[in-house]
Structure 1
Amino acid sequence: MSELALTGILTVVIVGLWATGKLPEYYVALLFFCVAMLTKIAPAPVVFSGFASSAFWLILSGFILAAALRKSGLADWLAYRFLPVMSGSWLRMVAGVVVLSWLLAFLMPSNMARITLLMPVVMALADQAGVASDARGRIGLALAVGLGTFELSASILPANVPNMIMIGAMESGYGAHITYLPYLLLHAPVIGVMKGIVLTFIIYKLFPTRMEKKTFDATYPPLTAVQKRLGAILLVTVMLWVSEGVHGIAPAWVGLGAACLCLLPRAGFLTSEEFAAGVNVRSCIYVAGIIGLTAVVTINGLGDWMGNQLIHIMPDTRDSPFLAYLSNTFIAGALSFAVTANGVPALFTPLAQSLSEITSLPLMTVLMTQVIGYSTPFIPYQAPPLVIAMAIGRVPLREGIRVCTILALVTYLFLVPMNYVWFAITGWI
């Protein structure tokens, strides 16, 4: 059997297992490593390239920082400081939750950690603001946390798993790299700000809620010495992330440095037992597996082969940059139905070179078009963090599907064209 055919079979099986969830994702990743090495489908440095990727280390660092934030109480302190301004009206509350979900992504790189932190705090806010326990508004607030956390965070480079997988796949497949601030300026106006406004309006209209007139207790203890110390570390970390273009240190290594400070014996914030309990190593292995699979697909030419097949079914868009941009976005969105958002970069990124040749768009532009595609689920299962948010917030599946579908339709009808215009204004098209 040819190396290309073997790569194709392995890719279909591994991606299929990740998509169906029949086996734990970390086990599937380990299975990929095992089969790839036994069949000698690629050299070991390629198969295990995910462990050398910045994505792996940034996600690991994100879990450590999130655990430190929770243990120190600084996360609660930060959240409660935002809450008093949200209690004046239902619109203000919804908007406040959406904004807080997005802003927290600048501090905590883990979607799951942010959802775990925010959901109980937002439900407590609903209690103090007079939202009845059986009110539909609670469902709306839970969805605001879930969708605000997952979809809006795609506009921030180190803030979610698909972004990191994409960056890792870009590095291993093409040697391509985009820094923190240019990425933020490219995606934040539409995916962050405009989509946040649309999400706020949808939640506000679909879940109208009357709030009782209650006095909001905004008192909270002052920062402790431990919280101040962790806050200073986080402030420096964020500043270094934002200024990557100046000093040239990748976000992963900045995050790893901050994580090391958090784990420092006696002077840090986490014990070895808390590290073991608070860090989801399984997710890190899963990410390493996806990046490794992407590298194998790229080096063995499967991405090029798939791109050549697309040439025969895609219309010629060389003379229409908008149709070229639109087709790339739709491909990314369609892939998420099969492999969820986390798996899209693993399939789309190896195709980027071929798609660039088909559409005459620059390679980096093609790579960036996938972001709005994989960050816009039509159904909750396409975004695992949203499923977690719905479970914690006790959101009925039909409500999650309804809001996801409406938001996705508005995104593709209005925000995707708007995003194209922004790409053109900023010189990416």
Structure 2
Amino acid sequence: MLKEAGMARFKEITVALVLVLAVWCGVTMPLGMAGDQAAIFGIVLVTLSLWATGLVPGYVASMFFFTALLLGGLSTPDVVFSGFTSSAMWLIIAGFIIGAAITISGLGARIGGLTRRYLSRSYPVLIGGLMLVSMALGFVMPSSVGRAAVMVPIGMALAEVLGLTKGTTGRTGVAAVIAIGTNMPSFAILPSNIPNVVMAGLADQLFDVHFGYTEYLLLHYPVLGLFKSAVIVGLVLVFFPARLTAPQDQPPAPEPPVGGKQGLLLVILLVTLVFWSTDQIHGINPAWIGAATALVLMVPQFGFVPQPAFKSAIDVGTLFFIAGALALGVVVNKSGLGDIIAREAFAWLPMQPGADFRNFMSLALIGAGTSIFTTMPGVPAVLTPLAPDLAAATGFSLEAVLMTQVIGFSTVLFPYQIGPFIVAMGLAGEAPRRLLKVTLSLFLLTVLFLIPLDFLWWKLLAVI
């Protein structure tokens, strides 16, 4: 009780201090901000503090964000509510419905039972195996939210089979490794995460610089994909320890053949997966593919998601939280705050031609720092236009400077910075703030070890 009271008081003090800082920013208009920009910056700071501390539920913080901006006349409704109209939001809603269908039909429990024989040897094998499957999906599915929508119901069903029930640290560990594993390694695969695609598209549009799939993979996957994933597995095992309590010495009862409703659902999901995996060919947004699948599953005659199940499947609080997280980056970029923050960081960092390691670290930290305010998809939109200036300051090639963005926007400090983290944890019924211990530790280890290791790898490849 005393520990909980102390933590609550710490959260209150933290938010109060941030509130004072926000008021100071609004009054003094630092860094050459205009009045509206300073006010927006203050609102962003308070919102971030509420999300980071968990002092209030995430959806309450999002409502504060929406309301403060609109009442203050600081932004327009189409920008403030852009999270609700984003394709990511509709992929999330589709994910809720797909997850409900998998659970209600019993298909999730069946798949969990089938995979149990391979992943039930121990808790570390379970966590490592789920990470490997999540990494593999990154090569065939272009959407991290889509990957989470596939993996979360299966992972949660498997956790239930192995005795990791709701409220246990082991279940949270399963949710955490899926949330991070379906997103973080895929930053090293060019078409598999939104920031990657935005960066490559802007590089092509602004500078006529083209990045190939193989060169991108070779440069980033060894460290950001393989090494970082191994570190993530280790952190999940440390922060969410558990033992598998389901009996391991008894083989599972043989499953009856798939048929009826489960068979039809499996066919629908396989067709969906094929369309998700080939979006580079047909050009249909993964969100609209998910929406079409959700529509089929909602048809009453099929009975996959009855009306009562639909009402319980859609977590409105999670949707509000995600809408706020998605809109924050848009608001920051539209207001011009992103450029101010990035240029100020650029001015303070010690970059000069010839100091390769210091320059490399500085460029990576610019991306990581910018993402705290813009969230990940906003980083390339802010930093890519600055690439020629950064190249001149460091002596790196334009291509190398652009590629360092990947290190920056894949180095996350808080869970809210990556929308798919929030989505996956929401689909799993776990609080996103449970990831905070992992993300903070991963940030520290990345700065101390993985970025220097990446520097050596880039040197070996003669990129810098």
- Answering whether residue 158 of structure 2 is matched by residue 121 of structure 1, we say yes
- Answering whether residue 278 of structure 2 is matched by residue 249 of structure 1, we say no
Asked if 2 retains the 8 angstrom alpha-carbon contact of 1:190 and 1:419, the reply is: yes
Percent identity for Structure 1 against Structure 2: 26
1:276 to 300, 303, 311: 311
- Answering whether residue 272 of structure 2 is matched by residue 237 of structure 1, we say yes
Counterparts in 2 of 1:77 and 1:317: CA distance versus 1, 3 Å: farther
1:216 to 251, 254, 261: 251
- Give the corresponding residue for 1:8: 41
Counterparts in 2 of 1:369 and 1:253: CA distance versus 1, 3 Å: farther
- Give the C-alpha shift of residue 54 in structure 1: 1.4
- Answering whether residue 182 of structure 2 is matched by residue 153 of structure 1, we say yes
**More relative contact order in 1 or in 2 (CA 8 Å, sep 6+)?**
1
Classify the secondary structure of the residue corresponding to 2:376.
helix
- Give the corresponding residue for 1:41: 74
Asked if 2 retains the 8 angstrom alpha-carbon contact of 1:317 and 1:358, the reply is: no
- Answering whether residue 320 of structure 2 is matched by residue 285 of structure 1, we say yes
- Give the C-alpha shift of residue 116 in structure 1: 7.2
- Give the corresponding residue for 1:58: 91
- Give the corresponding residue for 1:266: 301
- Give the C-alpha shift of residue 277 in structure 1: 0.4
Greater displacement, 214-223 / 290-299: 214-223
Deviations 1:201-236 (A, max 9, x none): 778899899999824325223323211111112112
- Give the corresponding residue for 1:369: 407
Counterpart Cα distance in 2 of 1:232 and 1:424? 47
Asked if 2 retains the 8 angstrom alpha-carbon contact of 1:55 and 1:164, the reply is: no
- Give the C-alpha shift of residue 384 in structure 1: 6.9
Asked if 1 retains the 8 angstrom alpha-carbon contact of 2:342 and 2:366, the reply is: no
- Give the C-alpha shift of residue 84 in structure 1: 1.0
Asked if 2 retains the 8 angstrom alpha-carbon contact of 1:241 and 1:251, the reply is: yes
TM-score by length of 2: 0.66
- Give the C-alpha shift of residue 108 in structure 1: 7.3
Deviations 1:56-82 (A, max 9, x none): 111121111111111111112122211
Counterpart Cα distance in 2 of 1:44 and 1:84? 51
Deviations 1:359-406 (A, max 9, x none): 3356864553344312898xxxxx7799999998xxxx9xx96x8787
Q: Residue type matched to 1:148 in 2?
A: V
Q: Residue type matched to 2:177 in 1?
A: G
- Give the corresponding residue for 2:25: none
Counterpart Cα distance in 1 of 2:54 and 2:237? 33
RMSD over aligned CA atoms reads: 5.0
Counterparts in 2 of 1:280 and 1:374: CA distance versus 1, 3 Å: same
- Give the C-alpha shift of residue 32 in structure 1: 2.1
Classify the secondary structure of the residue corresponding to 2:254.
coil
Q: Residue type matched to 1:64 in 2?
A: I
List aligned pairs for 1:311-390, cutoff 5 A: 311-316=346-351, 323-330=358-365, 344-345=375-376, 348=379, 351-353=382-384, 356=387, 359-360=390-391, 365=403, 367-374=405-412
Q: Residue type matched to 2:285 in 1?
A: A
TM-score by length of 1: 0.70
Deviations 1:98-129 (A, max 9, x none): 435656886974859956763563464379xx
